């Protein structure tokens, strides 16, 4: 039997929902390859709980914009996510340094046979190794230059995607998920009161659990 790959959408600290989803898909770290699409942390009730489940499942997590922001904040750079920094330090306590060391190992993308996994999306026409890391974790729309990645007047990156691989991404909760032949969006807004989603490959089945409540306002 072919090994399953379980790809889990943006968790954002929703540890209870994650636990429920892992149980629902019968996730087994001895048998399955488990990949988180990034943004394990912030906004929800238990970033540390999500990280602990991630480690317990021997999972890989991609770098999300919240993780990349954290690394910049650790280096002393100011960032709009500064408001989360003290909260994370307090929540992780003596485990904070271990967590940061773990995040340093998160890849920006994973490529596997005909499957490409990335937090936000791909710059049209470029492989991720040719791309600014911030574009990989924040892109929504494409202006042809990379200066404005979320202007709704511009086409979405996935409308411009012409590759052969199936691209699985997160980051864009307002889409409420996306399913196209070559593109699957897995951020279904759990932290905003939506759902937490898991894509099971190779059967290409999406399993969801509903959020227990809304923990944050969508932005």
Query: Residue 1: is its pLDDT beyond 70?
Result: no
Query: Residue 81: is its pLDDT beyond 90?
Result: no
Does 169 map to a domain? yes
Q: What is the model's pLDDT at position 97?
A: 96
Rounded to two decimals, what is the model's pTM?
Answer: 0.96
Burial class from Cβ neighbours inside 10 Å (0-12, 13-18, 19+) for residue 3 reads exposed
Does 148 map to a domain? yes
Residue 179, domain extent: 5-210
Does 165 map to a domain? yes
Query: Residue 125: is its pLDDT beyond 70?
Result: yes
Does 215 map to a domain? no
Query: Residue 166: is its pLDDT beyond 90?
Result: yes
Q: What is the model's pLDDT at position 116?
A: 98
Contacts of 185 (CB under 8 A, 6+ apart): 158, 169, 170, 172, 175, 177, 178, 179
% residues pLDDT > 90 (the chain): 92
**What's the chain's average pLDDT?**
95
Does 206 map to a domain? yes
* Total structural domains within the chain: 1
Q: How far apart, in Å, are the Cα atoms of 26 and each of 6, 22, 30, 198, 214?
A: 10, 6, 11, 11, 25
Which CATH number belongs to the domain containing residue 29 in this structure?
3.60.21.10
Render pLDDT for 168-209 as a digit per residue (tens, 0 to 9): 999 999 999 999 999 999 999 999 999 999 999 999 999 999
Q: What is the model's pLDDT at position 207?
A: 98
Query: Residue 219: is its pLDDT beyond 70?
Result: no
In which band, very low, low, confident or very high, does the pLDDT at 2 lie, cut at 50, 70 and 90? confident
Query: Residue 153: is its pLDDT beyond 70?
Result: yes
Does 219 map to a domain? no
């Amino acid at each position: 039997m072919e090994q399953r790959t379980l790809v889990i959408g943006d968790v954002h600290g929703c540890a209870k929902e994650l636990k429920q989803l892992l149980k629902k898909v019968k996730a087994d770290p001895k048998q399955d390859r488990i990949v988180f699409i990034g943004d394990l942390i912030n906004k929800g009730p238990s970033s540390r709980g999500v990280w602990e489940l991630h480690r317990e499942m021997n999972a890989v997590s991609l770098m999300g914009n919240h993780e990349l922001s954290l690394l910049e904040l650790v280096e002393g750079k100011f960032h709009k996510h500064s408001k989360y920094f003290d909260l994370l330090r307090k929540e992780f306590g003596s485990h904070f340094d271990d967590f940061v060391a773990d995040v340093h190992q998160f890849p920006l993308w994973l490529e596997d046979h005909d499957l490409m996994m990335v937090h936000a999306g791909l710059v049209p026409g470029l492989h991720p190794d040719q791309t600014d890391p911030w574009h990989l974790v924040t892109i929504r729309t494409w202006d042809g230059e990379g200066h404005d990645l979320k202007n709704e007047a511009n086409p979405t990156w996935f409308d411009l995607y012409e590759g052969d691989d199936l691209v699985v991404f997160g980051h864009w909760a307002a889409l409420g998920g996306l399913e196209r032949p070559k593109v699957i969006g897995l951020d279904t807004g759990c932290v905003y009161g939506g759902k937490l989603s898991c894509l099971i490959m190779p059967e290409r089945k999406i399993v969801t659990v509903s959020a227990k409540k809304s923990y944050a306002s969508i932005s």
